[in-house]
Amino acid sequence: MKKITTLIILTISFLTRVIAQEQLNKMQLADNLFDRYEYFKSVAIYLDLANKSNPKLHAVERVADCYRLMNAYDKAEEWYQKTVAYSEADAIDHYYYAELLLRNKKFSEARDQYKAYYALENADQLPFKLAACDSAQKWMKAPIDRFTIKNEQKYNTKFSEWGLNYSGKASFVFTSDRLPDDKKTTKKLYNRTGDGFFKLYKNDGDIVTLLELKTKNNPIFDANYHVGPMVFTSSADTAYITITTTLPKSKLALDYDSRGIQQLYTRRLQLIVATKVNGVWANFKNFQYNNIKEYSIGHATLSKNGNIIYFTSDMPGGEGKTDIWYCVKQADGEWAEPVNCGKLINTKDDEAFPNLSDDGVLYFSSTGLPGMGGLDIFKSKGEKSTWAKPVNLKYPVNSTSDDFYFITRDSLSGYFSSNREDGKGNDDIYSFSYTPPPVLSAVPSTKILKPSLPPPALPASAILKLKKGEGFILNNIYYDLNKADIRADAAIELTKLAAILREHPSIRIEVGSHTDARAPSVYNLGLSKRRAASAVTFLVRHGVARYRLVPKGYGDTQLLNQCAKGEYCSEEDHQVNRRTEIHVLSE
């Protein structure tokens, strides 16, 4: 399973140590390489030791660990199966084995290994993991057929491609660790995986080329460190680029390995801001809240107007391992201090890869919210630290593997990244298209026979034609997401209604308000009651006696379309359900 640390947090390398004049044996040499995260080199040595007769548990376990951390999942599963056969195997080996079994869709075996692990550690987390197995099985049997998924062969190779971003109207920039044919040298290898370092690539039409940012006057983009992804403002003249810091090792934080032997230095992630001058990227500078001695910042996204930036960080004060944070642009063009997006978005585990659509929907990935295992993609509507409950996009967008970096402008088409099986390489870029459900038209009769048969939308003057028990939806009495305020367009219609009610003092009505299906139903019920109360208060202020008005909240129980919980709908479809209806109680 891809670890967040691969993409978000750390790259750790060997610094120096004083070695006594004894020669290291093979196990010690492999352990030294492993502690320096050089899995590509260490696994060959561990394999030689593990393939001997009666191998030690440590060698077998480390082969499994290396393959897992190199994202060689099938091999990792094979070796963890051998590892847990040892009676003295560590509890965590059962957990890693379960994660791989879940990824490889062996649900029954995964449940058994989760139970074996949680019988020894953190038993309260077992239901969460068993639920992931159940959800994966259930959702894969009934996929959301409104999504069409396609592997984008023109971007993908046998290596890792991910983090595709729009760069203007018809261009894209993405991240890849591919090794160009003319640069297959060991100097360019990343010793964690044996592949190259991540670099940025661009495409214009079907032609993909390296996006070279390093210049003589700009040493930031070193070929021996990771670069990407790169995200752009809506005008595409400013970019925020995630890089592994290239500062000299003398300026980086030091630590020791798990055995207290080797001194290591930590290369964290940072954001670089660049502007385009005469068609060339220039003016590179650090994002003002980078702090590579203490934490990472990376993977930014911007609101459409460019006034809010969201990013991933493990800075102090978060909810979990990595969280999504935001900054607001101030009048002087600088960014205000980072603020955590809150507990609805962030969990005790990892949240990462935020991206905003043009209509303000936040898409991100999480290992801490209920899903199918690995990183799942979620969406939520809101802003800053106020959000609706995140919705899992389910299968086929999500899988039992890692699914992340979901980008879209209109929520109807876009791209995401995944390391699911049957891809072309490690991480692949996929495109998606979504067909929204049809909006159900209002019932032609004004009689309300059942909650599922809402009244049609009519002008306020139509109240004079209604009899007891009849009703209609007021035109344009809609509400903003998560709010009960009377909008300007709603005030116009309510003012007309107040005038009619003042002229006909014998009419008594119910003012019923509704929500869309997002957020928990208990919360929605309370929100709808507040909306109904706001409408009644408005009418009272415009001269209608309060005893003639009965506020009623219905929550999300009477939807006008198919946008039920968990269904993927556009903002326009959800807006239809955030409405007020008038029912005549007496004439």
**Predicted pLDDT at 467:** 58
Which residues, in sequence order, are CB contacts of 397 under 8 Å at separation 6+?
144, 147, 149, 377, 403, 406, 416, 432
What is the rounded end-to-end Cα distance, in angstroms, of the chain?
66
Query: What confidence tens digit (pLDDT) does each residue in 560-579 have?
Result: 877 888 776 777 778 788 88
Which residues, in sequence order, are CB contacts of 263 under 8 Å at separation 6+?
15, 16, 17, 254, 255, 256
**CATH classification at residue 311:** 2.120.10.30
Tell me the range of 218-222, 327-331, 419-423 where mean pLDDT is highest. Answer: 327-331
Give me the phi and psi of 48, to 5 degrees please.
-60, -35
- Indicate whether 218 pLDDT > 80: no
For residue 331, give both structure tokens. Answer: 């009048």
- Indicate whether 11 pLDDT > 70: no
197 and 280 co-located in one domain: yes
Which residues, in sequence order, are CB contacts of 187 under 8 Å at separation 6+?
224
Query: What confidence tens digit (pLDDT) does each residue in 94-120 have?
Result: 999 999 999 999 999 999 999 999 998
Q: What is the mean pLDDT of residues 14-26?
A: 50
Asked which of 386-400, 440-454, 465-479 is least confident by mean pLDDT, the reply is 440-454
256 and 402 co-located in one domain: yes
**Predicted pLDDT at 21:** 33
Helix, strand, coil shares of the chain, percent, nearest 5, are 25, 30, 45
Query: What confidence tens digit (pLDDT) does each residue in 515-540 have?
Result: 888 888 888 899 899 989 988 999 99
What is the average pLDDT value for the chain, to the nearest integer?
A: 84
- Indicate whether 7 pLDDT > 50: no
**Predicted pLDDT at 15:** 42
Q: Which structural domain range is residue 299 located in?
A: 147-434
pLDDT-derived band at 5, boundaries 50, 70, 90: very low
| CA–CA gap between residue 428 and residue 424 (Å, rounded) | 7
Query: What confidence tens digit (pLDDT) does each residue in 385-399 have?
Result: 999 889 999 999 999
**Predicted pLDDT at 480:** 62
322 and 238 co-located in one domain: yes
The answer to the question of residue 485 being in a domain is yes
The answer to the question of residue 271 being in a domain is yes
- Indicate whether 483 pLDDT > 60: yes
**CATH classification at residue 473:** 3.30.1330.60
Query: What confidence tens digit (pLDDT) does each residue in 136-168 have?
Result: 999 999 898 889 999 999 999 999 999 999 987
In contact, 346 and 319? CB cutoff 8 Å: yes
269 and 186 co-located in one domain: yes
392 and 512 co-located in one domain: no
505 and 390 co-located in one domain: no
425 and 522 co-located in one domain: no
**Predicted pLDDT at 500:** 83
Total domains, the chain: 2
The answer to the question of residue 394 being in a domain is yes
**Predicted pLDDT at 438:** 54
Q: Are strands 549-553 and 508-513 parallel, antiparallel or unpaired?
A: parallel
Query: What confidence tens digit (pLDDT) does each residue in 345-375 have?
Result: 999 999 999 999 988 899 999 999 999 999 9
421 and 538 co-located in one domain: no
pLDDT-derived band at 186, boundaries 50, 70, 90: very low
312 and 423 co-located in one domain: yes
| CA–CA gap between residue 403 and residue 377 (Å, rounded) | 6
531 and 564 co-located in one domain: yes
Using DSSP's 3-state secondary structure scheme, residue 132 falls into helix
272 and 309 co-located in one domain: yes
389 and 515 co-located in one domain: no
